[in-house]
Amino acid sequence: MSTDTSRRSAPARRVVLAVVTTDVVDVQAHARAVDDPAAGATVTFAGVVRDHDGGRAVTGIEYVGHPTAPALLEQVAADVAAAHPVDAVAVSHRLGPLGVGEVALAVAVSAAHRAEAFTAAAALVDEVKARLPVWKRQEFGDGSDEWVACP
Q: What would the CATH number be for the domain defined by 24-141?
A: 3.90.1170.40
**Rounded to the nearest 5 degrees, what angle is found at the Cα of 60, between the Cα atoms of 50 and 42?**
45
Query: Mean pLDDT lowest for which of 5-9, 97-101, 104-108, 118-122?
Result: 5-9
Arithmetic mean of pLDDT, 109-135: 97
Q: Is the pLDDT of residue 41 over 80?
A: yes
Which tens digits make up the pLDDT trace of 78-102?
Answer: 999 999 999 999 999 999 999 999 9
Domain ranges, ordered by start, for the chain = 24-141
Arithmetic mean of pLDDT, 128-135: 96
Q: Which helix (H) or strand (E) holds 81?
A: helix 69-83
Q: Quote the CA–CA distance of 90 and 72 in Å, as a whole number.
A: 14
pLDDT band at residue 3 under the 50/70/90 scheme: low
Question: What pTM does this model have?
Answer: 0.94
